[in-house]
Structure 1
C-alpha cells in the first residue's frame, strides 16, 4: 500500500503527514533550533555537523538496525518464532512498502537520539497492524486528557490538523519528565554541543588564515599609503591560507615579524576539543573508541568496552522498543503470549577461539546441542546433532532418596 494513498484515504485529507523517505526530508524533519550562550543556534541538523554527534548517532542507529528482531510466541515453557504472524514480517523484514526493517530501526534510533520521540502511523487490517508509516516528529504533539487518555495532534503539510488516538499512532519515547513526551538530548545538551562546534569553527578559521602564528609586521619607518597597500596585498596573497603556510617572508624597509598570539596547543585548544568529544559521548552513552577516540582503549579492555556498549547503551533502547511493540502493535489477545525480541547475540560474540571453547562447555554440560552451536555459526544441522549430553557424574539418582528413608 502506497504511503500517500493509504494515509490520504484513511484521513480524508488533502495532504499527508511528512513521510521521512529521503535524506533531505529527514534533515527538514529534525526540529527547531535552541539558543546557546555561545551565540549559536543549535538545531538537530546543526548538531549533526559535529563529527562526534554524527558518529554517536550513527553507531547507535546502525547497531540497532543490524540486529534481527523477531516476534516470539510463548506457550507454557516453550518459545518459538511466530513467523506466521503478520507483525513478524513487519518488524523482521519490511514495515512498509518503501523501507526495509534495518532502515526503519535506524530511522527510529535517529529520531530518538535527536528528538527523543518517534511516531509512526499504524495501518490496521483484519485486527492486525499491516503497515507502519513514519511521521515527522515535529508535526505531532502528544496530549494527555483529563480522563488519562492520550491523543496526538498531527499537523499536515497543508496546515490542517487531525487528532488521532493511540490506536492510530505508535509512539516510542526516551525517558520522560511527564510520562508522555520523551526528553530531547540535543535540547538539553545544546551548550556542550555549541562549545564543540565553536572549537571546530575556531580551528577552521585558524587554518584558513594560515598555519603560521598570527602576529604583526613592525618597523620604525613610516610607510606611504602606496607601500602599505602593496605590502598588505602581497602578504595576504602569499602568506594567507594553508597552501601558503611556512613560505619564507621577504621583508623590506626594516620590517620585522612579531608573533602576538598563542598557538593552538598552548591555548588548550586540542584539550578542549577532546573534552567536548568525551562529553558528547557521555550524552549518548557511547564508548569513545567507537567514534575513533582510541586514547583509553587497549587490547586488554576493548572487549569489555564493547560488552559495556551492548549492555548499557543498546539494551535500554532495545527493551524500550520491545515493550512498545508489545503494548502498541499487538492486539490484546496476542499480547498475552507474544512479545518482540532483538537478537543482540551477534554483538556479544567473541573471537573464534573463545566461541568454540564456549560451545564446547555448553555441549559438555548439556546446555547446548551440536546443532544449536552450528545454528549460531550459520551452519546447517547435522544428523544426530540434536542430542543434549548429560555428564555421568552429574546424573540424578532418584533411588538414593528412597534408600535413605
Structure 2
C-alpha cells in the first residue's frame, strides 16, 4: 500500500497534459523482457543506431531537386521556386537541409511519423519548415473531415490545422499516422536490451558465477553457523568484490564454477539480436557491419548500392516526394512541377561507376560532354555542347550502302593525301 501511494504521488508530480514527454513509457504495453523500450534506450543498441543512421544519413545526403516541365516533355531545375532553396539548402534558420531531413528520417524510422511546422509569409508563400519531435504530436480528425494537430511547445499547448503541418507518414500510411517501429518491435528490442545487460553483468564478474561453499565430510551447519557464513564470507565477497581472495575456516571449501559466454549461448543470442533488429528496419545485416553470413547482394559497391536503393530506400524516398507534392505544392503547381531525389548522388563516392555511367550517357547521345563536366564541377569545353553517337551500331539493311560509301570516302582521302595537286592524267603518266 505504501509503495502504491508513493507511485501515485510520483506520477502526479511527473505527468502533465501539457508535456506528453513525461508519459513516455507509462502507457506502453507490457514487455515480456521487463524492459521499457523508447527512443533513448533503443538507440543504445548498436543495431538500431546503425540502421537508423544508415537510412537517415543516406536519404538526407541525396540532392532533393524541384523541376519544372518544359517543351517537348522535357524538364529543368526550377531554381526560382520558393521550395527550391528550402528543400535543397536551408529549411529553417537553424538547420541545413541535411540536418532537417536527417531529423525527419530518424522520426520516420523510429516513430513512423515525421512532422514539421509550416511557416508562411506574404501570399501564403512557404518560408520555413521547422521539425517537431513526433512523440509530442497528436493527430485527430474533426467534424468537417480535416485533420488537426496538437503538440506541446515549451509547456504551451499548440493546436494547428493540416495546412500548417507537414506530415510524412511511415509504413502503414493511415491518415492519422504510420506505424511505430519502436512500438511494434518492442519485444525484439527489449530482448536485445536484456541480453546486452546480462552480458555486461557476466563480463563484469569475469565470467564467474557465485561458486559453491562446501563443508568437510558434508557436515550439516547450525542456523548460527549459516548466518555467520553469509555475514563474513558470502556478503563481503559479492558484487564488486567478486574475485578477491577468500579466507575460509572450520573445514569450509570453495569450488569455483566457470561459465563461458559460449556455454551461456550469449554470443549466439547477441548475433541473433543484430539480424532480428535489421529485419525491423529492412536493412541487410552486412551493411551495418554484421558480416557473419555472406551477402547475396553482389560483391561490388555498385551492386550493393543498387540493391539497397531498390529494396530499402525506394519506398521511403517515394513517401517523402509524394508528401511534398501533396502538402507543399498547390493543385495547379502539381501539374507542372515535380520534386524528386537525385539518385546519382549515391554514385559520387564510386569513381569507377560514375565514369562508366558518364561514358554510356555520352556515347549514346543522351548527355553532352559539357553536361558531364558541369556535374563534375569542371569548366566547359569549346564544342562540348554537341551530342555525339558512336557509328558502329548501324541498321543491317544499310550495311552495304554505308560500307560502299565509307570505302569510297577512304579511297578519296588517300588519293588527296598522295596527290594534293590532283590526280595526274594518263598523258602525264606516259610523259613521265
Q: 2:275 aligns with which of 248, 273, 278?
A: 278
CA positional deviation for 1:311: 1.9
Would you say the 8 A contact 2:324–2:339 is kept in 1?
yes
1:255 is matched with which residue?
Answer: 253
CA positional deviation for 1:86: 1.2
1:368 is matched with which residue?
Answer: 367
Q: Is 1:116 equivalent to 2:112 in the alignment?
A: yes
Q: Is 1:170 equivalent to 2:157 in the alignment?
A: no
CA positional deviation for 1:197: 0.4
Residues 1:120 and 1:69: Cα distance change in structure 2 (over 3 Å): same
Would you say the 8 A contact 1:176–1:182 is kept in 2?
yes
Distance in 1 separating the partners of 2:231 and 2:24:
48
Would you say the 8 A contact 1:310–1:347 is kept in 2?
no
SS at the partner of 1:200?
helix
Length-normalised TM-score, structure 1: 0.80
Residues 1:218 and 1:328: Cα distance change in structure 2 (over 3 Å): same
Unaligned runs of 5+ in 2: 1-17, 400-432
CA positional deviation for 1:191: 0.4
| Between 181-190 and 209-218, the greater mean CA deviation after superposition | 209-218
Any residues of structure 2 matched to 1:31-46 within 5 Å, and which?
Answer: 31-32=24-25, 34=28, 35-46=30-41
Would you say the 8 A contact 1:362–1:368 is kept in 2?
yes
Would you say the 8 A contact 2:65–2:88 is kept in 1?
yes
Unaligned runs of 5+ in 1: 1-16, 19-26, 401-405
SS at the partner of 1:392?
coil
Distance in 1 separating the partners of 2:66 and 2:24:
33
Any residues of structure 2 matched to 1:67-146 within 5 Å, and which?
Answer: 67-76=62-71, 77-125=73-121, 126-146=123-143
Any residues of structure 2 matched to 1:146-157 within 5 Å, and which?
Answer: 146-157=143-154
CA positional deviation for 1:72: 1.0
SS at the partner of 1:212?
coil
Would you say the 8 A contact 1:218–1:258 is kept in 2?
no
| Between 116-125 and 346-355, the greater mean CA deviation after superposition | 346-355
Would you say the 8 A contact 1:153–1:161 is kept in 2?
yes
Q: 2:201 aligns with which of 186, 199, 205?
A: 205
> Superposition RMSD on alpha carbons, in Å?
3.3
Distance in 2 separating the partners of 1:157 and 1:256:
59
Would you say the 8 A contact 1:199–1:273 is kept in 2?
yes
SS at the partner of 1:41?
coil
CA positional deviation for 1:45: 1.7
Q: Answer 1 or 2: which has greater helix percent.
A: 2
Any residues of structure 2 matched to 1:210-249 within 5 Å, and which?
Answer: 210-220=206-216, 229-232=231-234, 235-236=237-238, 240=242
Deviations along 1:324-375, whole A, 9 cap, x unmatched?
1111112233222112111221324674334334433332222332223333
CA positional deviation for 1:300: 5.1
Q: Is 1:290 equivalent to 2:287 in the alignment?
A: yes
Would you say the 8 A contact 1:363–1:369 is kept in 2?
yes
Q: 2:187 aligns with which of 177, 180, 191?
A: 191
Length-normalised TM-score, structure 2: 0.75
Would you say the 8 A contact 1:43–1:186 is kept in 2?
yes
Larger Rg: 2
